[in-house]
Amino acid sequence: MDYLNFGRFTIPATLISSILTLLFSGFIFSRIRKIKPGEWYTNAYLLFFLLYKLSYIVFNFSLFVKFPFSLLYFNGGTKGQIIAAGFTAFYLFRLYKKTPSLLYREMVPLYFLNFVGFQAAEGFLVGVYHAGIVQLALFLVLAFCLYRTSSKVNSQVFLFIFLIELLILSLFEKTFMTYNISFILIGLFLVWILYTIKEEKRN
């Protein structure tokens, strides 16, 4: 994991990337679709972050007892990502069941803006500029497409964009690095929902 120094403070680059992505993607979405993301957007981020952080206690309890402040610097790693992604996916599923229109109106566009936006921010922050430039270009293309069309993203289009992003990540050897696992798992979860809807309509 890469860290950035701000005076006496050392902060993980992934945390800064997440905050920048949360704010910037939400801003771009509100400008494109003329609506602000619902409260679920920040709630999902907070839920994921808290579970990811607190899972460190579960998997490193003895170390946490000896050094409580270690929680500020460490997290639950890969297992923590999986647990946090699972609970976040369940939270999104409950929202979808309660308000189905939320899936196409906000969840799918914001998922892609956050997935790609995070990779762009991370690339620039850690100095992998060629990866950051490619991801930023894809982010701008996605934003432009969302601006030009208000039509729903069907399951085939979602899967196509999802696979394109995985291909780009694999080119930079980042596909299965820890902080991408959550995006991949939640993306697969959304693919499942979209294909489930498609089958229900077919029947």
Report the domain count for the chain: 1
Does position 199 have pLDDT exceeding 90, yes or no? no
Question: What does 59-111 look like in DSSP terms, one character per residue?
Answer: HTHHHHHH-GGGGGT---HHHHHHHHHHHHHHHHHHHHHH-THHIIIIIHHHH
- Residue 10: pLDDT band (50, 70, 90) is confident
Virtual CA dihedral for 71, 75, 76, 78, nearest 10 degrees?
Answer: -170
Does residue 193 have a pLDDT over 60? yes
Of the ranges 25-34, 56-65, 90-99, 170-179, which one carries the lowest mean pLDDT score? 170-179
For residue 121, give its domain range.
3-202
- Report the alpha-carbon distance of residue 119 to residue 20 in Å, rounded: 11
DSSP letter assigned to residue 179: H
Task: Supply angle C-alpha 176, 15, 77, rounded to 5.
Answer: 45
pLDDT for residue 162: 93
Question: What pLDDT shows up at residue 11?
Answer: 80
203: number of Cβ within 10 Å: 5
- The string of pLDDT tens digits covering residues 133-183 is 999 999 999 999 888 876 677 788 899 999 999 999 888 866 556 678 899
Tokens at 7, concatenated: 């005076």
According to the model, what pLDDT value does residue 126 have?
Answer: 87
Predicted confidence at residue 98, as pLDDT, reads: 94
Residues 132, 100: Cα–Cα separation, whole Å: 34
Between residues 48 and 69, the one the model is more confident about: 48
The pTM (predicted TM-score) of the whole model is: 0.90
